[in-house]
Amino acid sequence: MPAKMFALAASALIAGAGLAKAQAPTPDRVQLQANAAALRDQALKGSPAYPFLRDLTTEIGERLAGSQKEHLAAQWAVARLKAMGFQNVHIESFPVPGWTRGEERAELISPSVQKLMVTSLGNAGATPPEGIEAPVALFHTYADMLAQPVGSLSGKIVIVTQPMVRAQDGSGYGALAVMRFLGAAEAEKRGAVAYLVRSLSTSDSRLPHTGATDFPPGMAPIPAGALSVPDAEQIDRLSADPSLKGQPLRMHLVLTPTFKPGATADTVVADVVGRERPDEVVLIGGHLDSWDLGTGAIDDGAGAAITTAAAKLILDMPRAPRRTVRLALFGAEEINFAGPAFAAVRSAAEQSHYVIAAECDFGAEPVYGVALPTGAAKTPYGAMLAEAIAPLPAYVDRAPARGGGEDVEPLSPHVPLAELQQDGTHYFDIHHSADDTLDKVDPHRMDKAVAAWVAFTYLAADSDVDFRAKPSSP
């Protein structure tokens, strides 16, 4: 190390030592750190997460929002949480579109006859029972489709084949989710009779990945679906094959989902009641609903199991934390109804008592980083959390949280949010597909996630940190 750099490093160490001496841990902080470490280590030895997930996916299976299976899952969760000793366990029901998957078939009939693997997107419309046959308008990027003028795609089946980028933090999905969520409505504006998108997936499996799409009020939904990645690539090759130039792409498509009026979904809520300030709430949870292709193990049975296990470890402590830990197992996250419904029944005054909120909805892999509300990383809470999760290994992110999960973000005007960042490198190989099953979950790696969640939650509930206070200016 050059002499100048060594001198700067030595100065920093001396300054740091002085700061540490000036801010020596109080006895209360020492006990908090010891408790957080003990909870972390207990989780690593084996938590209740995997048994919860195993039983949910085995005894209930898939849990499509608004379906009878989702209601059974909520009743199952209530019984399970009560047996585990949680307090104030109850169900909050709310209306949702009662969408159900139907028949799903797609076949190219020109320039080459080939069957394709396709699945409907949630909330999409249906073809007639016999299907539709139409020319294909193929776009290699979503932007290319959006560049088409209104009415220019009349009578066509629009296909967008833009590939998704693999990323540890899932940012590849975030960049392209709009083409699934809003693509069908945009295609309909341009006259399309149906819309197909390359699955938002990093897998090379021929299983397509579903997900929600949306239509503005007053717009009748057109049929919309997702093609498997290999089939989307096959269509790209056919369109580029010089020997087939001049031969148009043409498709026969059958997608027959239905809507059932009057459907409802359920969020299950349970508490670990605080000993000193029970009205102050640390909110954690995952979503209980899933898509119907698999059994919803990683999306999001794992998140529900991880946060339930973290809350249960805190519940079993000899002394309850100062604040209440509230567990929410949200219904209908996949169709974007749970968060607004949860926030809507809680007044701004009630939400002001929520100290922090975070949702676990990124599979069963370990947490590598925790992003806190602005300024919190530099507080004693941030330092205690950093020490507790360092052995996992994980760190407290210097950048503030950008969100906390789909179901808690509607609380954000009044409630600070945190993000516990899980390794999502392979999450989108499985997400929203028939491969989302229990065998993809490693119990020991899931317990590493529990270890981070229990440290985060316990320290927020039993310390004096107040994320609601605005950070002081430097």
Q: Tell me which residues are annotated as active site.
A: 333
What DSSP line would sit under 255-308, residue for residue? E--EEETT-EEEEEEEEE--SSEEEEEEEEEEE----SSS--IIIIIHHHHHHH
3-state class (DSSP) for residue 128: coil
Q: In 10 A of CB 429, how many CB atoms?
A: 20
CA distance 413 to 411: 6
Cβ(279)–Cβ(353) below 8 Å: yes
Closest CA to 162 of 203, 200, 191, 193: 200
The b-or-e profile of 354-388 (16+ CB within 10 A means b, else e) is bbbbbbbbbbbbbbbbbbbbebbbebbbbbbbbbb
Token output for 408: 């808690």
Sign of CA dihedral 199, 202, 207, 213: negative
Cβ(184)–Cβ(226) below 8 Å: no
Q: Name residue, tokens 């599979």.
A: 363
CA distance 187 to 118: 18
Q: In 10 A of CB 473, how many CB atoms?
A: 5
Q: Name residue, tokens 């290319």.
A: 144
Cβ(169)–Cβ(421) below 8 Å: yes
Cβ(62)–Cβ(292) below 8 Å: yes
Q: Name residue, tokens 């052995």.
A: 391
- Measure Cα distances from 37 to 30, 291, 387 in Å: 11, 36, 9
- φ, ψ for residue 175 (rounded to 5)? -70, -30
Radius of gyration of the chain, Cα coordinates, nearest whole angstrom: 25
Residues 6+ apart with CB under 8 A from 23: 380
Closest CA to 99 of 229, 224, 272: 224
Three-state helix/strand/coil letters over 206-262: CCCCCCECCCCCCCCCCEEEEECHHHHHHHHHHHHCHHHCCCCCEEEEEECCEEECC
